[in-house]
Amino acid sequence: MAKSPEEEHPQKAFGWAAKDSSGLLSPFHFSRRETGDGDVTIKILYCGVCHSDLHNVKNEWGFTMYPVVPGHEIVGTVTKTGKNVKKFKVGDRVGVGVLVDSCKRCESCQQDLENYCPQMILTYNSYSQDGTKTYGGYSDIVVVDEHYVLRFPENLPPAAGAPLLCAGITVYSPMKYYGMTEPGKHLGVAGLGGLGHVAVKIGKAFGLKVTVISTSPKKEEEAVNRLGADSFLVSSDPAKMKAAINTMDYIIDTVSAVHPLAPLISLLKLNGKLITVGLPEKPLELPIFPLVLGRKLVGGSDVGGIKETQEMLDFCAKHGITADIELIKMGDINTAMERLAKSDVKYRFVIDVANSLSQ
């Protein structure tokens, strides 16, 4: 008979988990594996609350295995290292993002694209190689193969930098891959939430002109005055959308609800690229004529490989880019999730794990 979460591994662990599709989180005792030869054990300081965490706790994508401990924007301190570990030592500030393992042998892994490995193991809600489930960062400790641990730059504030481990790489990677980095070009960012606000900051750091495309007119002031966007387009205003037709070289679409693509596609110039990084539950309607007539494309992207995630962290440290966060206590997580569902956060909740996770 399978061991209970508390007993399956030798190191005791404590966190908050959702037990069913109500998505409500509550205290949960479980365990972490022994620190293997290639492993790093991390005391968790902060963990960002990603919208994926919300989708997962409520089983909105249909593949949640309860109990689920979410959290894949983890920043902490190394407390133990296995004997073969070379990159880290006790006391180092580190991060863990969306994946904690992969096959290491396939073409994707060989090309530093572990995130596209068919056997990629997610930080939570996945099966490890030993057959046990992975649990995420809403917890006190985590044990990870050193290959998947990021060095967290010293000059990056740990709480405000935590969301970069998912939100940051999710927008940075496609911007590099799809060539959305030429200074002077015009980037549209659809959706101004956790992903979107980081995309604005990274876009500006690449020297791009950035327009935020949003359904909420009240986000304009923030977008332009505080985040540094060059302009703001209310997507529900037909006249403004029409005036902006054929003006953008690329668009990062961060919206995770079902939404129309046709208006976004019309904003693109010839050869324009619409890159979608949000994960709506249902398929989207895609008009083909405008893609054909304007040689436009719609592409997807899913986080990034470990090498690129490190590159992104170093880039953000160099340019002083962090997320705008609201620090919360572990005990407030359910309220935070409710507010997140209503997009009531500027722009990421981050759990102060070390100071508020008590048994």
Which residues are near other proteins by CB under 8 A? 107-108, 113, 116, 174, 177, 261-262, 270, 276-280, 283-302
Measured from the CB atom, the residue of 35 and 115 that comes closer to other proteins is 115
Our CB check for other proteins shows the closer of 111 and 358 to be 111
* 8 A C-beta contact, residue 67 and residue 18: yes
Cβ at position 274, least distance to other proteins in Å:
10
Residue 169: burial class (beta carbons within 10 Å; 0-12, 13-18, 19+): buried
The two beta strands, 348-351 and 325-328, are parallel
Nearest CB to other proteins, comparing residues 207 and 287: 287
**81: three-class secondary structure by DSSP:** strand
How far apart, in whole angstroms, are the C-alpha atoms of residue 298 and residue 288?
A: 10
Q: How far is the CB of 266 from other proteins (least distance, A)?
A: 13
Shortest Å, Cβ 273 to other proteins: 8
Residue 227 CB contacts under 8 Å (≥ 6 apart), including other chains: 192, 197, 200, 201, 212, 324
**CA–CA distance, 91 with 80 (Å, rounded to integer):** 9
Find the shortest distance in angstroms from Cβ 243 to other proteins: 16
* Closest CB to other proteins among residues 13, 109: 109
Give the residue among 349, 282, 352, 357 at the shortest CA–CA distance from 50: 349
Q: Residue 97 or 153: which CB sits closer to other proteins?
A: 97
Contact residues for 238 (Cβ-Cβ < 8 A; gap 6+): none
Q: How far is the CB of 136 from other proteins (least distance, A)?
A: 19
Q: To the nearest whole angstrom, how small is the minimum distance from the Cβ of residue 321 to other proteins?
A: 23
Q: Which is nearer to other proteins, 65 or 90 (CB)?
A: 65
- The CA–CA distances, whole Å, from 57 to 22, 24, 29, 124 equal 8, 7, 17, 11
- Using DSSP's 3-state secondary structure scheme, residue 172 falls into helix
Smaller CB distance to other proteins: residue 90 or 262? 262
Cβ closest to other proteins, residue 166 vs residue 261: 261
The nearer residue to other proteins, 2 or 293, going by C-beta atoms, is 293
Q: Which amino acid is at 335?
A: T
Question: What is the DSSP code (8-state) at residue 343?
Answer: T
CB of 302 to other proteins, least distance (A): 4
Contacts of 218 (CB under 8 A, 6+ apart): none
Residue type at 142?
V
In whole angstroms, the minimum distance from the beta carbon of 149 to other proteins comes to 23
Contact 331, 356 (CB under 8 A): yes
Look up residue 224 and give its two tokens.
């332009």
Least CB distance to other proteins at residue 134 (A): 18
Backbone torsions φ then ψ of 356, nearest 5 degrees: -135, -5
